[in-house]
Amino acid sequence: MSTVASSVEVPAGLHLPIYMDNHATTAVDPRVLEAMMPYFTVKFGNAASRNHSFGWEAEQAVEAAREQIARLIGTTAKEIIFTSGATESNNLAIKGIAEMYRERGNHIITQVTEHKAVLDTCKRLEKHGYRVTYLPVKADGLIDLEDLKRAMDDKTILVTIMAANNEIGVLQPIAEIGKLCHEKNVLFHTDAVQAVGKVPIDVIADNIDVLSLSGHKIYGPKGVGALYVRRRNPRVQIAAQIDGGGHERGMRSGTLNVPGIVGLGKACEIAQQEMKAEAAHLTALRDRLKNKLESELDYVHVNGSMEHHLPGNLNMSFVYVEGESLLMGINDIAVSSGSACTSATLEPSYVLKALGLGDDVAHSSIRFGLGRFNTQVEVDYVAAKVIDVVKHLRQLSPLYEMVQDGIDLTKIQWAAH
């Protein structure tokens, strides 16, 4: 497949390629790296070594990070458990609760647009005799609270619904979901990886019992995450999935990744201080990108509710354009396409299909993930480049030409070869 030639000029001082895939991962903030560095070299102790100053120093750093994370989500340091990242946090929360509360019930409720770390964990539990209800979502990506109410029964022990979707950036009504759960005496877990540090989250006000978060989505290091586990009203108990030295209140054994934990703590501290200003900045950049694309191109639409949305997310479908060709044409911009990002296949994204999009529209979708280090100059270049490439590809598209001529594609009988 040949790359589409583009006539868009690169402004002086703009460095290519441009990174706009901040939902996949973020660059480590220089302030985070600076906080971590000593713990690789001079302060290298094991936080579980209680007999000397090297261990004490490491333990102090870990406890300080617990405080920083707890402050960001409105809880206490004792309720933070360290893990290797969001996938482990989700596995520990869901499997740990399922095992611990088995005598009370075997029913779990989730939604079809969850991250694979939740869906595949639920599928594993189904093999072990648990019942799982997968709630549908509406066309805007939100669940229907009435569906959730109807799905609950006397055997329901856990509801796990993500705070913000990683593909379409839609924010679920987690406070209302948590309230429903508490009325029914059901535990509520949320995969808040994409939401923490970007929108305000308060585990008490939002009625959250267990929450997963990760370092590398908030300008911290990869390979470190945390799990909030509520200690009162209700006290949540979780069966360990990794056995060993009884670290992390017996819930997660293993030598702690001290530099990573220090970095996660610092990233949370920065997020807490700068979240409001950063959200305003990212919302302005995102709306600028959206407005430029919509003003120059027809047959484009935003996927997911724009009213309940992450500041830096824009997932758009460019109908009558093949997503892979579009990606090839904008190969100096790092974004994600509407093909499954979780596998090597070119299946359309299950999240977009759950919104009711057809395969062709899902395939034509691009996720722009704006972040802390993106600039207005980058946004303007990306908009110009995408517009240029989409127009060029549509000139080659017979379907687009037919639509321009007023032909209704749904009425056409395509002849088989």
- What is the tens place of the pLDDT at every residue in 221-252? 999 999 999 999 999 999 999 999 999 999 99
Amino acid at position 145, single letter: L
- What is the tens place of the pLDDT at every residue in 33-48? 999 999 999 999 999 9
The catalytic position among 122, 181, 268, 341 is 341
Residues 6+ apart with CB under 8 A from 396: none
Write down the pLDDT at residue 5. Answer: 66
Number of compact structural domains in the chain: 2
Stretch (H or E) spanning 314: strand 313-318
Are 365 and 237 in the same domain?
Answer: no
> For 94-114, what is the mean pLDDT?
98
Write down the pLDDT at residue 6. Answer: 76
> Could you tell me which residues are beta bridge partners of residue 337?
366
Last residue of a domain, one of 247, 271, 295: 271
Are 304 and 259 in the same domain?
Answer: no
Domain that residue 129 falls in: 30-271
Write down the pLDDT at residue 4. Answer: 63
Quick one: pLDDT band at residue 413, thresholds 50, 70, 90? confident
- What is the tens place of the pLDDT at every residue in 82-94? 999 999 999 999 9
Q: How far is CA 136 from CA 45, 110, 161, 182, in A?
A: 48, 9, 12, 22
325: domain CATH number? 3.90.1150.10
Interatomic CA distance for residues 258 and 36, integer angstroms: 8
Nearest Cα residue to 264 out of 72, 90, 87: 72
> Could you tell me which residues are beta bridge partners of residue 227?
81, 212
Write down the pLDDT at residue 322. Answer: 84
Are 215 and 287 in the same domain?
Answer: no
Note the pTM of the prediction, 2 decimals: 0.95
Are 224 and 293 in the same domain?
Answer: no
> Could you tell me which residues are beta bridge partners of residue 18?
333
Are 288 and 266 in the same domain?
Answer: no
Are 225 and 319 in the same domain?
Answer: no
Q: What's the whole-number average pLDDT of the chain?
A: 94
Write down the pLDDT at residue 205. Answer: 98
Are 198 and 139 in the same domain?
Answer: yes
* Residue 358 scores a pLDDT above 80: yes
Q: What ranges make up the beta strands (E) of 5-141?
A: 18-19, 80-83, 107-111, 131-135
Size of the chain, expressed as the number of residues it contains: 417
Quick one: pLDDT band at residue 194, thresholds 50, 70, 90? very high
Percent of the chain with pLDDT over 90: 88
Note whether 191 and 110 are within 8 A (CB): no
Q: Is 346 exposed, middle or buried (0-12, 13-18, 19+ CB in 10 A)?
A: exposed
**φ, ψ (nearest 5 deg) of residue 84:** -90, 0
* Residue 198 scores a pLDDT above 50: yes
More confident residue, 411 or 31: 31
Are 234 and 323 in the same domain?
Answer: no
Last residue of a domain, one of 230, 248, 271: 271
* Residue 1 scores a pLDDT above 50: no
User: Is 181 an annotated catalytic residue?
Assistant: no
Instruction: Give residue 129's Cα distance to chain centre.
Output: 29
Interatomic CA distance for residues 139 and 56, integer angstroms: 53
Last residue of a domain, one of 210, 241, 271: 271
Write down the pLDDT at residue 340. Answer: 53
Are 260 and 320 in the same domain?
Answer: no
User: 322: which DSSP letter?
Assistant: -
Are 262 and 282 in the same domain?
Answer: no
Tokens of 169: 């950036």
